[in-house]
Amino acid sequence: MGIQLNSGPLVKRHNYQENAEMNITPFVDVMLVLLIIFMVAAPLATVDVPVDLPSNAAAPNPPPEEPVYVSVQADGKLFVQEQALSLEQLAAGVHAITDNDVRTRLFLRGDKAVEYGTLMQVMNTLQKAGYSQISLVASEELEP
């Protein structure tokens, strides 16, 4: 709230009029700071393993609170979250991340250049380790 100072001859020295206009400048400043914070924080919440995913036309399901991703890159490299592992180390790596909870849903991200047999080896290794809830991840289809 501001005041209006009139300095004419008819205005007394302490006769101030209140200005009823709202000052939104501090509100805009706070909103811009919040926007910058969210723009910086949003890219940090994603997985950093680059995988070229195939498209999918099905409706997406809501993700769980803390998803566990198993990624297979085009050259056959295997990652659990962002940790590189071999196929022999996969079961131990997933057990370490999930605290041996075999009811945890795993998300398998495979590059579309990866052979089907490679993905099946990864899935079979996870199933032999006791994980039965394995979901395949695909990018959303842009045009039907």
Q: What is the pLDDT of residues 76-91, one digit of tens each?
A: 889 998 899 988 999 9
Mean pLDDT of the chain: 81
91: CATH:
3.30.420.270
Q: Is residue 120 part of a domain?
A: yes
Q: Is residue 18 part of a domain?
A: no
CA gap 6, 29 in Å, rounded: 30
Would you state the pLDDT for residue 143?
58
pLDDT-based confidence at residue 9 (cuts at 50, 70, 90): low
pLDDT-based confidence at residue 137 (cuts at 50, 70, 90): confident
Q: Is residue 43 part of a domain?
A: no
Range of the domain at 97: 66-136
Q: Is residue 13 part of a domain?
A: no
- Domain total of the chain: 1
User: Which residue's structure tokens are 């022999």?
Assistant: 88
pLDDT-based confidence at residue 116 (cuts at 50, 70, 90): confident
CA gap 26, 8 in Å, rounded: 31
Q: Is residue 9 part of a domain?
A: no
Q: Is residue 144 part of a domain?
A: no
pTM for the structure as a whole: 0.55
CA gap 89, 86 in Å, rounded: 5
The share of the chain scoring above pLDDT 70, in percent, equals 77
pLDDT-based confidence at residue 72 (cuts at 50, 70, 90): very high
pLDDT-based confidence at residue 103 (cuts at 50, 70, 90): confident
Helices (H), 7-133: 25-41, 90-98, 116-128
Q: Is residue 53 part of a domain?
A: no
Q: Is residue 115 part of a domain?
A: yes
C-alpha pair distances (Å), 122 with each of 37, 62, 63, 101: 38, 24, 21, 18
List of residues 6+ apart from 111 with CB closer than 8 A: 51, 52, 53, 72, 73, 74
